[in-house]
Structure 1
C-alpha cells in the first residue's frame, strides 16, 4: 500500500499504486474491483484517491507522438505535463492554449477536470483545445473519442474525473506566441462593486484577467483588492533587457517548503502579513512579466502546500451566475469573513460560456476560489457556503473539492443523470471508481469497505 493525498493534503488514503510505462501495462494492471488514474496529484481533494484499491499513476506515460509545427497540433500521451510542453515547445514559439494556474498538471488531468484559467471568459476551458483522445475502457478496448467519433464519450470524459476510462493519448492545439512574456496592467479597487465593474469592463479588452481580494477588508471595504489583466507580449513590446531571449523558459523552482509546517505558524498575524505582501506585489506589478510570474506565480515555490501544516487545507471554488451576482457574492464573502475561519490566498474571475463537457464546472458567471486551512469548524462553514452557492444557481468545482455531499452535488449539476447513462454504457460494472466518485454518488459504494481518511 502507498499513502496518497491530494494537493490539499486534507484527505489521505492507502492505495495500491502501479505506475505503468506502456499501454499494455495499463491494461494488465486494471483491477476490476476498482481503479482510478492519477497524474501529478494536483487535484486538491480525493479525485485521484481510491482507498484500499488500485491507482494507476500515469506520469511515466509521458511521450510525444507527433507535432505539426505549422498548426501547433500536438499528439502526446496523457502523462505529459504542461511543464514538459512549455519546456520543449515554448522555445519554438508555442504555448498551451488553455492552462490552469499551475503547469505541474498532466494533459490527462486537464481533460478529466476540464480545467480553466485566467482566460476562460475569452478562450473557454481545456475541451476547447482538444481535438481527439484515446481511452482505455473497462472492457479492455481502446477507443478513439472526438467531436465526431464517440462524441458522447468525448464530452462525458471532460469533467468526468477519470470515471469513464483511462485517458491514454490526446491531440491538442497549442497557441502561437512571439515571446514567453505578457503585457499586464494592475488596477486597484476599493470595494466589491468597483471590482465587479472592473472585471466586466475589461472582459473584452484583455483575454487574461484575475483579481485577488484583501481578506481583511470588511464592511464598506469588502471586496477591496487588485485586478490584474494582460495578454501575450509581442517582440516589439519587450524592453531591451528581455529582447535578447524573447522565448525564455523557466527552470525548476529555486525555493521549496521542505516539510509540513507546524499548524501554529498559520494564524491571523501570518495570514495578514502574507495577504499584505500579495496585495502589494500585485498592485506594483511591472508592465511586462514572464509567464512564470503572470500565469504560474505559485509554481515558483515548490511544495507550497506544505505551508498549511499536517491537517492540510481545502480550496473552495464556486461559480455563481452574473444575474444578481454582486449581491450574492457580497453575501458569500460576508459569510466567509465573519466565520472566524482563516481565509488565505484567493482569486476572483469571470467565466464564459459552458463547454460541452457533461460534468464540466464552468458556467457563465463570477468564480471565486479561496484557501481554508482545515480547522474544526471548516466542514460546517463549507456546508453553509454550499447552500448559499446552490441557492444562487451556482456550483462547486470538483477538482478542488473534498467535502461536497451527494445530494448537493446532484442539485448543482443538472446533467448528472445524463452522465450516469454514459457510465452505464461504458463502464457498466463500475470498474473505474474513486473516493470522490463514491462520496458524491457518481459510482457505487466501495467494495473495499473504506476510503480516504481525514488528516
Structure 2
C-alpha cells in the first residue's frame, strides 16, 4: 500500500516510544515563524503521558499548516506521521479505518486504483488525517460537499488524563465537534474512520472562463453553481480599476468512464507520478516583487485559461504538489497565507475594497485563490456560506502593519480568518471573529483542565 512501516497495534493500546529531549527549529509551510521546540515521534500513550508530566504537547503531521499551529516554543511537538497504518476497509460502505498519521497521498495511492478517492481534498495531498481534522480542511467543492467533518464517521483520541476514547456524532459529540478546527489542542488523535468516494475514473471534466472583473466573477459563480461540483478561481490581486477581480475561473465535475476519450479509457484509474521537480534552496528575498509577480500573473493566467477538457486529479486538485518544496520560492524570510471568508451580503463591495487595499499596500500578493463556500458547522471550523480569498504574502515589515487593517475590514464585514493558515491574528480580533470560542473553551476545560495540550497559536489566541 506504499505506506511507511506501521507501529504495532494492540487493540486499544498503541506501543510507541518518544525519544528523550531533542530540540529542533520548526516552522509551518510558510517558514514563519521559526520556533525551537522539543520533538519526538508519537509512539505510545505511556510515553505521551511522560512528556505531559514536564511539558505541554501539540501533535504534528506533515507540517502543511502555514503558521504556528504545530510548533510549541520550549515545549513538546509530537510527530504523528508514523501512525500511518490502515486498520480496516469496508468496501460495501466505503469506510476506511486508519491511523491519524496516514496522509491523503497514501490513501490515494492505495485506493484510487480500486476506484476510490478521499471525499474532501484541499490544495495538497500531503496532509495527514489528524491534521485534516485539526484544521477541518475544505476543497474546491465546499459549496456542495462541505468540510472534512462530513466524511469522518468517528475517531479515537488520547486525552490529557491518559485515557483513549472514541468520539463521534453520537458518542461524546462535544469532543467530536470541538476537534474540527480545534488545532490539535484537545488531545492526540490516534485513529479515524472516514468515508471515501466511489469513482469510475481519476479524471475530471473541466471548463475554464477568462474573467474580466469582479462583477463577471460573481455572476459566473452563480451561473454555474449547480452545474459543476468543483469551482476555484485565480485572481490577479494587482489589477485595479475596471479590471479589479479579473482572473480565471475553473469549473469541473468527476469524469465518468463513458465520458473519457478512447486514449484515456486504457487507464481510467491512473495514479499520479512521483514529482522530480523541486526548489532546491531558498530563493533570494528579492526574487518576488511587484514586477516579477506581474509577469508571473500573466503566465498563470495563460496556463489556467488553456486547460484540456479532461484533466487528471493530480493537476485538478494538487497543482502545486508538482513542485517539491515550492515554499522555498519565498526565501528564508518566509510567507503567510492570509485566507478569509466573508458573507455574500455586500460581498462585491467588501471584496472590491479589500482587493484595492491589497493592490495599494506595497505588500506583494501572490497565488491568489478565490472560491465560493457553502454552509459551515462546528465551533472553530473556518467555513461558512460566503466568499473566500486566500493570498500569499512574503513576510516584510510592511506586512505586519498591513494585516491588522485587513483583519479589521474582514471583521467589520462579518467575516473571519482561517486559523489553519493564520500566523499573525491578535487574540482580541480572533475572539470577535469566532464568538463560539467560549463554548470551545468549555470543552477544553472538560477534557484538558490543566492545559496539557498547547501550541504557539493556542497561546497567541488565548485558547491554551
Please indicate the TM-score interval, normalised by the length of the shorter structure: over 0.9
SS at match of 1:118: coil
> C-alpha separation between the residues in 1 aligned to 2:185 and 2:321?
28
TM-score between the two structures when normalised by the length of structure 2: 0.94
Q: Are the equivalent residues in 2 in contact too, given 1:18–1:29 (CA < 8 A)?
A: no
Using the TM superposition, give the Cα deviation of residue 264 of structure 1 relative to its aligned residue in structure 2, in angstroms: 1.4
1:160 aligns with 2:182: yes
Per-residue deviation, 1:189: 1.4
What is the deviation of 1:21?
3.6
Name the stretch that deviates more: 403-412 or 254-263: 254-263
Counterpart for residue 182 of structure 1: 204
Please give the alpha-carbon distance, in whole angstroms, between the structure 2 residues aligned to 1:31 and 1:227. Answer: 52
Cα drift, residue 27 of structure 1: 4.5
Q: Given that residues 157 and 165 in structure 2 are in contact (C-alpha distance below 8 angstroms), is that contact kept between their aligned partners in structure 1?
A: yes
1: distance between equivalents of 2:312 and 2:239? 30
1:112 equivalent to 2:131? Answer no
Q: Under a length normalisation based on structure 1, what TM-score does the superposition of the two structures give?
A: 0.96
State how 1:84-95 maps to structure 2 within 5 Å. 84-95=106-117
Alignment partners' CA distance in 1, 2:408 and 2:244: 21
In structure 2, C-alpha distance between the alignment counterparts of 1:363 and 1:394, rounded to whole Å: 9
- Please tell me whether residue 405 in structure 1 is matched to residue 426 in structure 2: yes
Counterpart residue number, 2:15: none
How far is the alpha carbon of 1:251 from its aligned partner?
A: 2.5
Change (3 A) 1:262 1:352: same
> Which fold has the larger relative contact order, with Cα–Cα distance below 8 Å and residues 6 or more apart in sequence?
1
What's 2:60 paired with? 38
Q: 1:15 aligns with which of 37, 45, 51?
A: 37
Partner of residue 209, structure 1: 231
The answer to whether the Cα contact below 8 Å between 1:206 and 1:230 also exists between their aligned partners in 2 is yes
1:288 and 1:30 map into 2 onto residues whose CA distance is: 51
Structure 1 stretch displaced more, 14-23 or 249-258: 14-23
Q: CA deviation at 1:340?
A: 1.2
**Corresponding residue pairs, total:** 442
In the alignment, the residues of structure 2 paired with residue 442 and residue 303 of structure 1 have an alpha-carbon distance, to the nearest angstrom, of: 31
Shift of 1:22: 4.5
> 2 CA distance for matches of 1:404 and 1:216?
24
Instruction: Using the TM superposition, give the Cα deviation of residue 31 of structure 1 relative to its aligned residue in structure 2, in angstroms.
Output: 4.8
CA contact (8 A) 1:99 1:117 kept: yes
Q: Distance in 2 between matches of 1:153 and 1:353?
A: 21
| Structure-2 residue corresponding to 1:277 | 299
Cα distance in 2 for partners of 1:392, 1:139 equals 41
- Where in structure 1 are there 5+ consecutive unaligned residues? 444-455
Which of 158, 164, 167 aligns to 1:142? It is: 164
Unaligned runs of 5+ in 2: 1-22
**Distance in 2 between residues matched to 1:436 and 1:33, nearest whole Å:** 16
Query: How many angstroms apart in 2 are the aligned matches of 1:333 and 1:171?
Result: 41
Q: Which residue of 2 aligns with 1:266?
A: 288
Aligned to 1:381: 402
Alpha-carbon RMSD across the aligned residues, in angstroms, is 1.0
